[in-house]
Amino acid sequence: MAETRRISGIDVVRGLAIVSMVAFHTCYDLVYLCGVALPWFGGALMDVWRASISWTFLLVAGAMCSLSRDNFKRSLRYLALALAIFAVTSLAAVDDPISFGIIFCMGASTLVYAGLERAGVAPTGWPAAALLTLAFVLLLGLPYGKVGIGPLALDVPRAPYECGLLSWLGFPGPSFVSGDYYPLLPYCLLYLAGAAAWRTWGHWLGSALAHLRCKPLELVGQHPLVIYVVHQPLVLGVLWCLSRLGVVG
């Protein structure tokens, strides 16, 4: 996630999200892989915790794309890493393979933004940010066959799901499984909302966030992809050792 200049507050926010991600995955591994009872970890709390992490990543990545030297190259790095993660998690078979996960989503969204940027139509302004956020909320249920909110939600025709070729877009096929699923729709809309907001208020936000400092979180926030890649093997390794010692499991 290379930018032309660093803003300490962005690294703090990103670092906090990464620490939260590691804690979340540790709890997940304890419950679903080690059989440890954590009654509080589940249901709405689990969903809200997961969303707080991934949505922060997408908003920050979207906001920072305006500071990237080359969003096209940046998108290819994300997508290459996403492909590697899919290959490794498929071979390891510890849990469901990660297909079209958060790294894929950031790569695909960055590619979309790069295209819009080169066409001169990258979203900017508070109306664009607001409309993109609204569209994101309305399409949150798209992977589950719904659009809209609550009782006003409508069923989506089954054809795009049943074809089995559009899981990447937001229409998971009948046999699709993934341990981490963030398709282009609706999540690209949140990324673009972050980009539009930063292009509108970036100067003010950057100045404000420049005063937010926390050295440990800044250090973590400066190396998000490395930590994302290595944290699960490390967590699983520690839990395996603890299970052998009879501490967990």
Collapsing DSSP to helix, strand or coil, 155 comes out as strand
Q: For residue 85, which of 73, 103, 72, 70 has the smallest C-alpha distance?
A: 103
Q: What is the per-residue pLDDT for 5?
A: 63
Entry pTM: 0.92
DSSP string computed for 29-62: IIIIIS----TTSSHHHHHHHHHHHHHHHHHHHH
Distance, CA of 177 to CA of 25 (rounded, Å): 18
Phi, psi of 154 (to 5 degrees): -115, 150
Residue type, 230: V
Q: What is the per-residue pLDDT for 249?
A: 63
- Say if CB 149 and CB 138 are below 8 A apart: yes
Q: What is the per-residue pLDDT for 86?
A: 95
Give start and end residues of each alpha helix (H) in 119-223.
126-138, 159-162, 184-209, 215-221
Q: What is the per-residue pLDDT for 246?
A: 79
DSSP string computed for 64-102: HGGG-S-HHHHHHHHHHHHHHHHHHHHHH-SSS---S-H
Q: For residue 68, which of 20, 109, 18, 19 has the smallest C-alpha distance?
A: 109
Q: What is the per-residue pLDDT for 2?
A: 38
Residue type, 70: D
- Say if CB 80 and CB 159 are below 8 A apart: no
- CA triple 133-109-208, angle to 5 deg: 60
Q: What is the mean pLDDT of each run of 10 residues along the chain (249 residues)?
A: 67 96 96 91 93 97 89 95 95 87 97 95 95 98 95 94 96 94 98 94 86 93 93 92 81
Rg of the Cα trace of the chain? 19
